[in-house]
């Protein structure tokens, strides 16, 4: 094995430019495995990377690529049964892989800070914020006693919480997601570490919040000269925030180097695939025609996304005369939230929203969390009752539909939900899941239903053998395809797609968008596409409604919204998309 | 090996043969299909405890159904002359104070004890599942009423409640004991079921089914109940043992089965007078009771581990 002979750790690495400088972090042939019932399963297979002081490096990859495992191995916080089986992690020349747990405690926090992925679950809900930050400060011996309290306030102020003094006694549930992430960043940087590992620090946040947080993080780390190791699935974000890029695939590094160069000129087929699938604002339908050559065909399995979209764009023109299938007029939804005792607060989740969708087209409803977009979906699906206003479907008022009329409506308007893990019953195999709507509406004999399941599986490009599988055995993308197949079982006219691709990896997302576009042309479907991701909207929607705080602030055709947004809020949303103005090599 | 370190300034590309790119999101068709229950079966199957407890339970059930296959001597054929005699040919465990064969009495006593245990468990499980599922799923007034009724029964200790009720019942048979025991024990299962249903009710697949047009009751039957039943099955297997003990307790106190019906509880009760002189009279029925309860508890343990993925991971 090659890693048995390793040079003295302190030897400086020549970076090829003639200047010899010591890297801050150098990972050599790292291998990490997880012990399972079936033996050791490798998660990271021979990863090497180098990070110099003051640099920012991003590890990009899909879920399961080993990017988080690599980051966790650095600070030896591997989940469950994970162990480092080979390789070195040299931090300032010291091999972290060989350190004891006690020695690692000194490294964590003080030398290497860590900002975890999910700000919702990484703060302890029973302790106030001040206590949790102070705990980190004391543990790292930054300050003790009264000084620690002073430092806590300072840390929170640096993290961008201006009224830190008053907020010390508040609890995590009183903080928004963005504020919690600021607290976590503050904790991560409180001991002025030399390296900060940020594991998808903003994936759970809205784009505008994400931008603020990343800008702030950039300023802080630049001021302190901290190196940053970003873990992200978002190529645009990596392009914008990191100088160095490492692309991981199935536990291996497939490409690494300066990020601008890699994204402008990807060499490895996997990186090329990723770059091609990244839905950024730069990926316009017209431009993407470039990719329509032989090499594009084997990069995608099942047809290139872009070519289909070009074809769709061409077909779109004559279809413009179609009638309105769904007409939403001045709908509002009020929730009553119990406060203290018997008092109620009224929350207007949807406020006077009107729009119409023509048959065979896609309308996107875009907004940040809390904008009321999902509530609109629920109202249209008749899962919640409207407070005021009118929803017309195919010329008929759907409010207050009951019994068979409601069943008839449900047959024609089907939903696909966000979470492909939660929306399928874990106890039902795929065949039964897809057949369920047929059974519920008493359609066909057993044999006919089987035939329909077969047809549907075929439509979503899954093999017939899939029918005996259970959801736990399928990947996120496969589950979402099952959910689409189930929604199509009754041959509906409308699909309401509530964040249907948001939880998926970029390549799989491309595949599902592609599938949805194909199905739309094939079956003349109408889509209501609810998403927070404007870049995806660009790829699939004909019309866009931008929602903010329960109201539609802008509503126009996709091209109009993207090329000449009228509202300041829309412009802000567009500008916040990571890598918005970055030219990807295609 | 060449220096694979992707140096900071160079653009490194892995050799393609080392990192072949697969088609996106392909389904591995070679794998076998698995369900939660199949997984649970696989997890149980490899544990010796499962086989030992299952074999024991099977044996106990066969003994309960066909006691005469195991004992040639009649348990009622007692001769006072044999009182407290030790083991002899054909009578491996000796005789009671009344001169009855201990071994035969244990074998024939199995039926009553196991009947009470199984019947009470079945009653409690069904009542608990139905009541808990309805309360959790429909909520509102129904939930409030059912939960409070449950709380009232919950507040009375099962054995205490049974003592009071049994003492006023005109007829005491295994069936009445099972009925009385389940009357006081169902709220526990109902509570567990209600909690599980509450969490399953709010899951996305239920919302998805509503939107698909599946009726509310059908969703309860086909999605909510199957997804909430695992913890109930675990508690049911464990409580089977405790019901057998409860029957013995009641019989020992003299308000369980009448002395005419053979049961382990009655035998233990009868043995207390000769405890000092002939402890084996007490020992054997007590051992039979312990082994039976242990077998069901062991099975309950294995089932719990198999259905709870976290417990499986800890092993």
pLDDT tens for each residue of B34-57: 566 777 788 788 889 999 999 999
Is the CB of A268 less than 8 angstroms away from the CB of B313?
no
Could you tell me if A49 lies within 8 Å of chain B, comparing CB atoms? yes
pLDDT at B36 (0 to 100): 64
Question: Whole-angstrom Cα distance, residue B140 to residue B198?
Answer: 12
Per-residue pLDDT tens digits for A357-405:
998 889 999 988 878 888 898 899 888 888 888 898 888 888 778 888 8
Could you tell me if A4 lies within 8 Å of chain B, comparing CB atoms? no
pLDDT at B194 (0 to 100): 93
- A252 interaction partners in chain B (CB closer than 8 Å): 14, 18-19
pLDDT at A227 (0 to 100): 92
Instruction: Name the minimum distance, in Å, from the CA of A567 to any CA of chain B.
Output: 34
Question: Whole-angstrom Cα distance, residue B50 to residue B54?
Answer: 6
Per-residue pLDDT tens digits for B179-213:
999 988 889 899 999 999 998 988 888 988 888 88
Of A8-12, A79-83, A285-289, A390-394, the least confident: A285-289
Per-residue pLDDT tens digits for B87-142:
777 777 777 777 778 888 888 888 888 889 899 999 999 999 999 999 999 988 99
Tell me the DSSP string of B129-185.
Answer: HHHHHHHHHH-HHHHHHHHHHHHHHHHS-HHHHHHHHHHH-S---HHHHHHHHHHHH
How sure is the predictor about B26, in pLDDT bands with cuts at 50, 70 and 90?
low
Among B1, B9, B16, whose Cβ lies nearest the Cβ of A16? B9
**A107, A91 contact by CB (below 8 A):** yes
Instruction: Residue A132: name the closest of A140, A141, A124 by CA.
Output: A124
Query: What percent of chain B shows pLDDT beyond 90?
Result: 18
| pLDDT above 50: residue A516 | yes
| pLDDT above 60: residue B3 | no
Question: Whole-angstrom Cα distance, residue B85 to residue B83?
Answer: 5
Question: Whole-angstrom Cα distance, residue A353 to residue A342?
Answer: 30
Could you tell me if A17 lies within 8 Å of chain B, comparing CB atoms? yes
- Residue A535 buriedness (CB in 10 A; 0-12 / 13-18 / 19+): buried
Question: Whole-angstrom Cα distance, residue A192 to residue A54?
Answer: 13
Could you tell me if A405 lies within 8 Å of chain B, comparing CB atoms? no
Q: Nearest-CA residue of chain A relative to B230? A: A427
Backbone φ, ψ for residue A36 (5° rounding):
-125, 180
In A17-168, beta strands by DSSP E? 20-21, 25-36, 39-51, 56-60, 82-91, 94-95, 112-115
Q: Which of A257, A261, A488, A494 to mutate to test the interface with B (most CBs of B within 10 A)?
A: A257
Q: What is the CB neighbour count within 10 angstroms for residue A557?
A: 13
Is the CB of A254 less than 8 angstroms away from the CB of B31?
no
Q: Between B48-65 and B102-138, two packed helices, what is the crossing angle to 10 degrees?
A: 110
Question: Whole-angstrom Cα distance, residue A537 to residue A525?
Answer: 17
Topology (CATH) of A361-385+396-575: Rossmann fold (3.40.50)
Question: Whole-angstrom Cα distance, residue A157 to residue A161?
Answer: 5
For B258, what's the count of Cα atoms within 13 Å in the CB-facing half-sphere?
A: 8
CATH architecture of A23-257: 3-Layer(aba) Sandwich (3.40)
Query: pTM for the full model?
Result: 0.76
Could you tell me if A424 lies within 8 Å of chain B, comparing CB atoms? yes
The mean pLDDT value of chain A amounts to 81
Is the CB of A414 less than 8 angstroms away from the CB of B212?
yes
Question: Whole-angstrom Cα distance, residue A350 to residue A353?
Answer: 7
**A134, A182 contact by CB (below 8 A):** no
What is the three-class DSSP state of A566?
coil
Question: Whole-angstrom Cα distance, residue A273 to residue A507?
Answer: 8
Instruction: Name the minimum distance, in Å, from the CA of B209 to any CA of chain A.
Output: 8
Q: 3-state SS of A260-318?
A: HHHHHCCCCHHHHHHHHHCCCCCCCCCHHHHHCCHHHHHHCCCCCHHHHHHHHHHHHHH
Domain boundaries, chain A: 23-257, 361-385+396-575
Give yes or no on whether A23-257 and A361-385+396-575 have one common fold: yes
Instruction: Name the minimum distance, in Å, from the CA of B256 to any CA of chain A.
Output: 42
Q: What is the CB neighbour count within 10 angstroms for residue A571?
A: 13
Per-residue pLDDT tens digits for B263-300:
888 888 888 777 777 777 888 888 888 898 889 888 88
pLDDT at A494 (0 to 100): 92
Could you tell me if A272 lies within 8 Å of chain B, comparing CB atoms? no
Could you tell me if A207 lies within 8 Å of chain B, comparing CB atoms? no
Give me the residues of A, 451-480, that contact B with CB < 8 A: 462-463, 465-466, 468-470, 472-475, 477-478
Question: Whole-angstrom Cα distance, residue A312 to residue A330?
Answer: 31
């Amino acid at each position: 094995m090659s890693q048995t002979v390793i040079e003295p750790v302190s030897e400086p690495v020549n970076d090829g430019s003639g200047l010899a400088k010591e890297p801050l972090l150098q990972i050599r042939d790292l291998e990490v495995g997880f012990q399972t019932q079936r033996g050791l399963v490798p998660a990271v297979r021979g990863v090497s990377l180098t990070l110099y002081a003051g640099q920012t490096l991003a590890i990009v990859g899909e879920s399961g690529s080993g990017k988080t495992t690599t980051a966790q191995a650095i600070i030896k916080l591997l989940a469950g049964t994970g162990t480092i089986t080979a390789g070195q992690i040299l931090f300032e020349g010291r091999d972290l892989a060989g350190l004891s747990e006690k020695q690692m405690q000194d490294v964590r926090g003080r030398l290497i800070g860590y900002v975890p992925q999910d700000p919702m679950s990484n703060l302890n809900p029973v302790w106030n914020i001040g206590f949790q930050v102070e705990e980190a400060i004391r543990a790292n011996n930054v300050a003790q006693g009264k000084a620690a309290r002073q430092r806590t306030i300072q840390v929170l102020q640096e993290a961008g919480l201006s009224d830190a003094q008053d907020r010390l006694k508040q609890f995590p549930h009183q903080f928004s997601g963005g504020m919690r992430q600021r607290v976590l960043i503050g904790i991560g940087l409180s001991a002025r570490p030399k390296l900060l590992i940020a594991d998808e620090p903003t994936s759970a946040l809205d784009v505008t919040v994400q931008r603020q947080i990343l800008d702030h993080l950039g300023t802080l780390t630049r001021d302190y000269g901290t190196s940053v190791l970003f873990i992200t699935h978002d190529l645009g974000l990596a392009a914008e925030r990191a100088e160095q890029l490492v692309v991981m695939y199935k536990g291996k590094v497939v490409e690494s180097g300066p990020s601008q160069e890699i994204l402008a000129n990807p060499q490895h087929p996997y990186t090329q695939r990723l770059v091609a699938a990244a839905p950024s604002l730069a990926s316009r339908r017209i431009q993407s025609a470039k990719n329509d050559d032989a090499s594009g065909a084997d990069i995608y399995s099942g047809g290139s996304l872009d070519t289909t979209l070009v074809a769709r764009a061409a077909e779109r023109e004559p279809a413009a005369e179609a009638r309105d299938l769904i007409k939403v007029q001045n709908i509002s939804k009020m929730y009553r939230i119990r406060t203290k005792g018997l008092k109620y607060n009224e929350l207007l989740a949807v406020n006077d929203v009107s729009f119409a969708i023509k048959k065979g087209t896609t309308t996107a409803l875009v907004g940040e969390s809390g904008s009321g977009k999902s509530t609109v979906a629920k109202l249209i699906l008749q899962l919640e009752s409207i407070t005021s206003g009118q929803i017309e479907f195919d010329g008929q008022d759907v409010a207050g539909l009951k019994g068979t009329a409601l069943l008839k409506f449900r047959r024609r308007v089907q939903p696909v939900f966000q979470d492909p893990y939660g929306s399928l019953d874990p106890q039902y195999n795929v065949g039964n899941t897809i057949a369920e709507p047929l059974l519920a509406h008493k359609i066909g004999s057993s044999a006919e239903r089987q035939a329909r399941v077969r047809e549907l599986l075929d439509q979503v490009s899954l093999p017939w053998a899939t029918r005996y599988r259970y959801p736990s055995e399928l990947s996120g993308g496969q589950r979402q395809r099952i959910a689409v197949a189930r929604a199509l079982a009754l041959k509906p006219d409308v699909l309401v797609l509530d964040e249907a691709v948001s939880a998926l990896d970029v390549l799989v997302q491309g595949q599902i968008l592609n599938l949805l576009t194909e199905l739309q042309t094939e079956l003349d479907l109408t889509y209501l596409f609810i998403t927070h991701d404007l870049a995806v909207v660009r790829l699939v929607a004909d019309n866009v409604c931008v929602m903010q705080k329960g109201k539609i602030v802008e509503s126009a055709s996709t091209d109009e919204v993207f090329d000449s947004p009228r509202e300041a809020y829309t412009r802000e949303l567009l500008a916040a998309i990571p890598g918005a103005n970055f030219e990807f090599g295609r | 090996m060449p220096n694979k370190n992707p140096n900071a300034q160079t653009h490194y590309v892995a050799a393609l043969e080392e990192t072949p790119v697969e088609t996106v999101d392909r389904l591995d068709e070679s794998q076998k299909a698995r369900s939660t229950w199949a997984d649970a079966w696989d997890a149980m199957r490899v544990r010796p405890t499962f086989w030992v407890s299952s074999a024991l339970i099977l044996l106990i059930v066969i003994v309960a159904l066909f006691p005469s296959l195991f004992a040639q001597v009649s348990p009622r054929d007692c001769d006072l002359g044999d009182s407290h005699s030790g083991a002899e040919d054909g009578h491996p465990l000796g005789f009671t104070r009344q001169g009855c064969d201990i071994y035969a009495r244990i074998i024939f006593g199995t039926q009553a004890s196991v009947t009470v245990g199984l019947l009470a468990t079945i009653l409690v499980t069904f009542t608990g599942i139905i009541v808990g599922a309805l309360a959790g799923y429909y909520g509102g007034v129904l939930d409030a009423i059912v939960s409070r009724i449950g709380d009232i029964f919950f507040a009375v200790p099962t054995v205490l409640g049974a003592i009071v009720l049994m003492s006023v019942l005109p007829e005491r048979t295994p069936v009445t004991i099972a009925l009385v025991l389940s009357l006081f024990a169902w709220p526990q299962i109902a509570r567990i079921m209600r909690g599980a249903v509450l969490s399953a009710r709010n899951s996305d697949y239920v919302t998805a089914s509503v939107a698909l047009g599946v009726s509310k009751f059908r969703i309860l039957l086909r999605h909510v109940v199957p997804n909430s039943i695992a913890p109930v099955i675990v508690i049911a297997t464990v409580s089977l043992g405790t019901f057998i003990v409860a029957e013995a307790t009641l019989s020992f106190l003299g308000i369980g089965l009448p002395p005419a019906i053979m049961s382990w509880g009655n035998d233990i009760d009868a043995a207390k007078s000769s405890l000092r002189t002939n402890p084996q009279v007490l020992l054997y029925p007590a051992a039979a009771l312990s082994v039976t309860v242990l077998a069901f508890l062991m099975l309950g343990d294995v089932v719990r581990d198999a259905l709870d993925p976290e417990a499986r991971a800890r092993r």
